[in-house]
Chain A
């Protein structure tokens, strides 16, 4: 199993540009989540999904969009990038009641 995979590993955007961060898992997990990690702060939940076709907002959803058309994939879209979105983004997946497994992260810089 590849586990949770994320692409790209690094990305630089200009303010106002849009892009999609890709996440895929091959463990048939129901739950998938997107977090951002900033210095001095714990992981903060952006959006999550409890199954294909079902998504919900987390703690910091503004400026981000998600969809879940399949069990395996959970892309995160930045609609109009802002410098405040410079961060490391992690995708995670789990069974209901199970432990979170994280991807390797995408390091995003917005100039």
Chain B
């Protein structure tokens, strides 16, 4: 099955810094989703994007649906300790199947 390329794999940042991560695919998608997973928990949906070029915010989080439909970006501004976790992307194909990235592990140093 297709796996999405997500980078970076891990990030160690100081509290207050901004964070950027991205996800790329070899196929085009009609939807991009970003999830956060805390240790021992299930993934929680952060942002959903439905249209190429779309830019959507959720508090300090901003995500964009790439123009090519093959990529998406997630930015976190002014990071705080509770941002720690694993972030991963998901794309939905035109065949209505979901594919997932391998995740970006974020550590915020106070």
| Interface residues in chain A, defined as those with a beta carbon under 8 Å from any beta carbon in chain B | 4, 6, 33, 40-45, 58-59, 90, 96-97, 99-105, 107
Q: Which 7 A-B residue pairings sit nearest by Cβ, starting from the closest?
A: A42-B100, A59-B1, A102-B42, A43-B100, A104-B42, A102-B43, A42-B102
C-alpha spacing A40/B31, complex, angstroms: 24
C-alpha spacing A103/B43, complex, angstroms: 8
Q: Is B21 an interface residue (CB 8 A)?
A: no
Sample of 17 further A-B pairs with CB below 8 A, known A43-B43, A104-B42: A42-B4, A42-B88, A42-B102, A43-B100, A44-B1, A45-B1, A45-B98, A58-B1, A59-B1, A99-B48, A100-B33, A100-B98, A101-B45, A102-B43, A103-B42, A104-B41, A105-B42
CB pairs A–B below 8 angstroms (23 shown): A4-B42, A33-B98, A42-B3, A42-B99, A42-B100, A42-B103, A43-B88, A43-B90, A44-B1, A45-B98, A90-B43, A96-B96, A97-B96, A99-B33, A99-B45, A99-B48, A100-B45, A100-B90, A102-B35, A102-B42, A103-B42, A104-B42, A105-B42
C-alpha spacing A107/B40, complex, angstroms: 9
Q: Is B66 an interface residue (CB 8 A)?
A: no
C-alpha spacing A42/B4, complex, angstroms: 8
C-alpha spacing A100/B96, complex, angstroms: 11
Which residues of chain A have C-beta atoms less than 8 A from B43's C-beta? 43, 90, 102
